[in-house]
Amino acid sequence: MKEKAVVKPGDILLFKAPTTTDIISSNASLSLIMSGQVLSALARRSKGGHYDTTHAAICTSYDENSTPVITHFTGAVNGSESVKLNDYMGDSDRSYLIFSPKDQPLREKIVEEALDKRYHSQKYSYIGTALSLFSLNKKMTRDKREEATFCSAFVAKVLRFIGINLGLSKDCTPKSLEAALRKSDKFDKKHHLGKGGTQKIVDELNNEIDRLSIGNDNAKSKAKSVKEILDKVLSSTKYKELDEESKAIEVLKHTLPLLALHTTKGIHLMKPNSYRKIKKLAIRKGFASGEVIEQTQVDTETKQVLKKSRAAPKLRQKNLLIGSK
């Protein structure tokens, strides 16, 4: 089995909201951040970032038990805080993205800068956090270690002081930080999928299969096709040897094309509920829509299943078959 995603000093962590349910079920501060970032998405800002990326931190060391320690800004304390990653996560089912520097010297510079005592002495800026939700993300005209800051602005500032200017504002949101890091060529990206890992996606797929199984004939046919190919993926030797991130990608790329099938006749303005539900869960686990889901290539085996489906002609329309050209 491949080694799972491991957090190392110098890695930048972008945390997703600690629940996969609606915005209103999160606490007040996270709800505000997500709501503000939804509005920014409507204005087509920070393309490549997602609204439920709500916190940013930097791994700066390991403790005596080789547990990663992160340094971040949080309203719970004044100044930056270094805390064990496990303690920060607690019991929450929280996934996160890991942006790993491509070379060791860059790792060392990030850690050294993040631990600068001038950051430790500063307060968390609630005003800055609020402004970040509505700022136009203009490039920084001034950048001081000594001024109050908050989580995503802290990370952007650390990178700026070591010579990596992501073109972000002084009050950048976690969403805009994510978008900028995805575009940077200085980092590799990995996923921590949260509790349950890929199994949560599989469980939700089985729920959708059960729901479709009590529908019309097309729905039942769709459920059968998804079940067959999902079982085949999960039982394969190749799948069992993959790490969690690769397992999730393998499950998604085989099942999403089938879930995109409509089971009723007529013009459809949106893709089916089953497709949108699984896609939403995948995004909440850190996968960008354009990165994995929309550009997933349909393999030969899945294409054969699609051809057998009564609804397949609808899927062959332009831009409807995921990843097809």
Checking if the pLDDT of 199 tops 80, the result is yes
Residue 316, pLDDT above cutoff 50 = no
CB atoms within 10 A of CB 202: 18
pTM: 0.78
> What was the pLDDT predicted at 304?
59
* Model pLDDT for residues 245-274, shown as the tens digit of each residue: 889 988 998 898 888 888 777 777 788 888
What is the Cα–Cα distance from 290 to 295, expressed in whole angstroms? 6
Please say whether the beta carbons of 271 and 293 come within 8 A: no
Whether the per-residue pLDDT at 42 is higher than 60: the answer is yes
Provide mean pLDDT across the span 149-176. Answer: 88
The domain spans of the chain are 12-192, 198-315
Flag whether pLDDT at 186 surpasses 90: yes
How many angstroms separate the CA atoms of 198 and 257, rounded? Answer: 18
- Which residues contact residue 200 at a Cβ distance below 8 angstroms, ignoring those fewer than 6 apart? 20, 193, 194, 281, 285
Instruction: Note the pLDDT of residue 317.
Output: 37
- Contact indicator for 248, 193 with CB cutoff of 8 Å: yes
> What confidence score (pLDDT) does residue 272 get?
87
The pLDDT value given to residue 305: 59
Q: What is the DSSP string of 77-144?
A: SSSEEEEEHHHHHTT----EEEEEESSHHHHHHHHHHHT-HHHHTSPB-HHHHHHHTT---PPPS---
Handedness of CA 87, 72, 281, 4 (dihedral sign): negative
The SS3 call for residue 249 is helix
Q: Among candidates 6, 115, 125, 133, which has minimal Cα distance to 57?
A: 115
> What is the per-residue pLDDT across 116-140, written as a single tens digit (0 to 9) for each?
988 888 888 878 887 777 665 555 5
User: Using CA atoms, how far apart are residues 270 and 259, in angstroms rounded to an integer?
Assistant: 12
| Mean pLDDT confidence for 228-236 | 93
Residue 242 CA to residue 252 CA, distance in Å, equals 14
